[in-house]
Amino acid sequence: MVKDFDTWNEVKKVVDEKERIIQDFYFHEREVWWSTLGLNIGVESDGKGSDFERPILIIKKFNAHMLWMVSLTGKSYDDLYHVKINHGSGVSWACLTQFRTISTKRLLRKVWRISKEEMDQVIDGVIRNLKNETPTKCGGISEPEGTNTSSINDSKLASS
């Protein structure tokens, strides 16, 4: 698939120049918004359409200019890196691997707000992934097989 980075670059310039508008103060954690995420590299979530947009879930509001988010998808997943979210028009999955900081200039329009219980599941999933923990079948936490997170190979870092 050929990506049109030149068109995204033009859209990105417009988004960056966007004036602060009142919506910047009226977004909250647990809300789902359509957002201009852009055309990204590799497996990073791309936006779709002329505004390169996709739905995102606001995880943490820092101020009127910056937030943490995860992107959402309509594709069904049953794994450790997605959390199912129910809403009025169906079901979405929060992509925990797409956790990142964005500018509020990217926000386009609010769609809905998820329940506190679903938000807790998303946050628990993000924390679990940040800690590199994997749930076991009996409900406890264990390291993935063959994973050693206690040390970093310094020779690999030195050669980078």
Which residue is associated with the tokens 């199912």? 84
pLDDT digits (tens, 9 = 90+) for 38-85: 766 665 676 676 776 899 999 999 998 899 999 999 888 888 899 999
**Around 67, how many Cα atoms within 13 Å sit in the side-chain half-sphere?**
25
The domain tally of the chain equals 1
Q: Count of CB atoms within 10 A of residue 77's CB?
A: 14
Assigned domain for 154 exists: no
We report the CATH number of the domain holding residue 130 as: 2.30.30.110
**Structural domain boundaries, residue 36:** 5-146
Query: In terms of C-beta density within 10 A (0-12 exposed, 13-18 middle, 19 or more buried), how is residue 40 classed?
Result: middle
Q: What angle do CA 103, 104, 107 make, to 5 degrees?
A: 120
Q: Assess if residue 153 is contained within a domain.
A: no
pLDDT at 142: 46
Does residue 35 fall inside a structural domain? yes
- Tell me if 80 is assigned to some domain: yes
Q: Residue 6: what pLDDT?
A: 65
